[in-house]
Structure 1
Amino acid sequence: MRLKLVIFDVDGTLVDSQGLIVEAMDLAFTGEGLTPPARQATLGIVGLSLDAAIFKLYPEGAPDLRARLVEGYKAGYMQRRAALGVAQSSPFFEGARETLMRLNTREDVVLGVATGKSRRGLDKLIEGHDLKGVFVTTQVSDDHPSKPHPSMIETALAEAGVAAQDAVMIGDTSYDMDMAAAAGVTGIGVDWGYHPNAELRAAQKIVASFQELEDTLTGIWEHQ
Structure 2
Amino acid sequence: MTNKLALFDCDGTMVDSQANICVSMERAFEIHGLEAPDRHSIRRIVGLSLSEAVGQLIPDHDRKTIARVVESYKDGFFELRQAGGVHEPLYDGLLDLLEGLEAGGWVLGVATGKSDRGLQHVLEAHGLTGRFVTLQTADRHPSKPHPAMVELAIAEAGASAQTTAMIGDTSFDMEMAVNAKVRAVGVDWGYHDAEELIIAGAEIVTATMDELHEVLNR
Identity within the alignment, %: 50
- Does the CA-based 8 Å contact 2:12-2:190 persist in structure 1? yes
In structure 1, what is the Cα distance between the partners aligned to 2:81 and 2:17? 10
1:213 pairs with 2:205: no
Tell me the equivalent position of 1:170: 167
SS of equivalent residue, structure 1 residue 135? coil
More moved, 13-22 vs 209-218: 209-218
Tell me the equivalent position of 2:102: 104
- Does the CA-based 8 Å contact 1:20-1:81 persist in structure 2? no
In structure 2, what is the Cα distance between the partners aligned to 1:42 and 1:169? 23
Q: Out of 125, 129, 135, which is 1:128 matched to?
A: 125
In structure 2, what is the Cα distance between the partners aligned to 1:95 and 1:17? 16
Tell me the equivalent position of 1:203: 202
Q: Residue type of the partner of 1:99? A: L
In structure 2, what is the Cα distance between the partners aligned to 1:97 and 1:58? 37
What are the residue-to-residue correspondences of 1:42-57 with 2, within 5 Å? 42-57=42-57
Tell me the equivalent position of 1:95: 93
Q: Residue type of the partner of 2:158? A: G
Structure 1: segments with no counterpart, 5+ residues: 220-224
- Does the CA-based 8 Å contact 2:2-2:158 persist in structure 1? no
What are the residue-to-residue correspondences of 1:149-160 with 2, within 5 Å? 149-160=146-157
1:76 pairs with 2:76: yes
In structure 1, what is the Cα distance between the partners aligned to 2:186 and 2:83? 32
Name the TM-score, length of structure 2 as normaliser. 0.95
**Alpha-carbon shift at residue 33 of structure 1 (Å):** 1.1
Structure 2: segments with no counterpart, 5+ residues: none
| Superposition CA RMSD, Å | 1.2
**Alpha-carbon shift at residue 96 of structure 1 (Å):** 1.2
- Does the CA-based 8 Å contact 1:104-1:134 persist in structure 2? no
**Alpha-carbon shift at residue 104 of structure 1 (Å):** 2.9
| Matched pairs, number | 216
**Alpha-carbon shift at residue 61 of structure 1 (Å):** 1.5
**Alpha-carbon shift at residue 81 of structure 1 (Å):** 2.4
